[in-house]
Structure 1
């Protein structure tokens, strides 16, 4: 994960990159916030409803994970959080917990606001009715940063479309083709309208090749940089170690104040 973030352009001199598990204040704050959270509140969150149905019986960790997310945010007194639309309700839980904590123990946590991405949600290549997910059991459904060019070409060639050969953008009537248009726009920096205009006159089979070439051109340098970074494990570990020290410098005084306010002297 660290190699992927760095390869995608995260600058460790400007951003604090660290492993959450190395900063115990996250879990400590999560437990305190869980004492302020009701079970019905968590039961109605979309991720729990969806994943617990898939697994028939969800785990406690999955059930309480949104509280840990809230702790991740509030521990650094974050004011703005970049999220996708599917995470808005989880951010609302963080806002609620900030208000509840402040009402109980005095004004302390800011209520974080969402910074919604302007990008369209990328859907599964095998089922364009659902979002693309790394946990999807269908290997052809998801494009990974570490996929080889041949893997990417195969996945996009097998992507679900329809029986109309023209390339158009209509997510409701033509979700599969529209998803490819969204992917093409995302990796090329073009607008959806520009992508559709450029695809005028070619059928969807040929368009899949165009999309695959655009995705490979965008992702292959990242894939190679990820591998280069993974080969230098000492460098990655030093970046994470420095990030952990910086994160704990920020988290420790916040957690100390939280303990004092709730009565853990």
Structure 2
């Protein structure tokens, strides 16, 4: 479904991170670093710890609270400034759930049944999955459109959900004769570091849910742990580092390590191979470990300082919730009027 893009409001970014598991290098390069770069480029950014999404799967309440603070600490340690960007917890802004219900009455079952992520997460026993897991993409649409966000940094696995958000926005605008009321949010093209793979399997994305601890570099890992994980990372039996990008084909683990080095150093794969091509992994891995430690250690230290003083995190999240509510509530008031809800 498409609509003439007549929205004339300000450009605004929305993105969220689930408070489940430890954040890792892939989360940093694929999300947190990009959020900070966008902030420094002058974008208005709204960044959310999406705890409502987290409970679509079983979760321990105490762990949810701890991990919510950990995500917020990581956002701040990576460079997001609570005075410049909006950092808050999803459940503290009720506009998300209210707009989800309205969008539930706009979206179509056929749209949701096409969502591949539900099939992946629910497995073979989808009838035992929660309704919330099935409806997860509608909540995502509400997350974005509660702020009339125009742009969303998305990974490959979220492009289908972004398209659903666009369809819901277009359907709402059409159904309620409100052209241009909601923007049709666009995905921001991701550059280097958008897809960091497992250190143990270059064909699988680095994941906080992977039971193999050595498959990822956690943001709270110390320098020795980072170096050890990189030293033990899987390569292959095809010899030394290739000298050209073409030589990375068919070598997913090596390509992943080169990609990590490139993303951390701000270089291209070609530049990395110009320096290390033809050399052994005994040379490359220590250099990568040093680079990763230099880049991540300040973030790890800041995260630990923040987590040692949760009052600072909580104060930033309360302030962020106030800022988020100040944006979302007028939009929801207008939605109520457009839909025809009674208002005192």
- Cα deviation, residue 40, structure 1: 2.9
Matched, 1:264 2:341: yes
Query: 2:150 pairs with 79, 82, 100, which one?
Result: 79
Query: 2:283 pairs with 206, 211, 222, which one?
Result: 206
1:56-93 deviation digits (Å, cap 9, x = unpaired): 65432222111111111101111111222222111111
Query: 1:5 pairs with 68, 72, 75, which one?
Result: 75
Query: 1:154 pairs with 207, 211, 228, which one?
Result: 228
Matched, 1:104 2:194: no
- What is the count of residue pairs matched by the alignment? 265
Give me the whole-angstrom Cα distance separating, in 2, the residues matched to 1:214 and 1:59.
43
| Aligned residue in 2 for 1:36 | 106
Give me the whole-angstrom Cα distance separating, in 2, the residues matched to 1:86 and 1:172.
22
| Aligned residue in 1 for 2:207 | 133
Deviates more, 1:78-87 or 1:250-259: 78-87
| Aligned residue in 1 for 2:134 | 63
Matched, 1:26 2:99: no
Question: What SS does structure 1 have at the residue aligned with 2:187?
Answer: strand
Question: What SS does structure 1 have at the residue aligned with 2:153?
Answer: strand
Give me the whole-angstrom Cα distance separating, in 1, the residues matched to 2:324 and 2:86.
7
Query: Structure 2: where are the runs of 5+ without partners?
Result: 1-70
Give me the whole-angstrom Cα distance separating, in 1, the residues matched to 2:100 and 2:255.
40
Q: Is the 8 A contact 2:192 2:262 kept in 1?
A: no
Question: What SS does structure 2 have at the residue aligned with 1:18?
Answer: strand
Give me the whole-angstrom Cα distance separating, in 2, the residues matched to 1:103 and 1:116.
28
- Cα deviation, residue 51, structure 1: 2.1
- Cα deviation, residue 38, structure 1: 2.4
Matched, 1:183 2:260: yes
Deviates more, 1:55-64 or 1:223-232: 55-64
Give me the whole-angstrom Cα distance separating, in 2, the residues matched to 1:41 and 1:255.
24
- Cα deviation, residue 97, structure 1: 0.4
| Aligned residue in 2 for 1:50 | 120
Give me the whole-angstrom Cα distance separating, in 1, the residues matched to 2:268 and 2:204.
22
- Cα deviation, residue 182, structure 1: 0.4
Q: 1:94 to 1:156 in 2, by over 3 A?
A: same
Q: Considering only aligned residues, what root-mean-square deviation do their CA atoms show, in Å?
A: 1.8
* TM norm structure 2: 0.73
Question: What SS does structure 2 have at the residue aligned with 1:17?
Answer: strand
* TM norm structure 1: 0.93
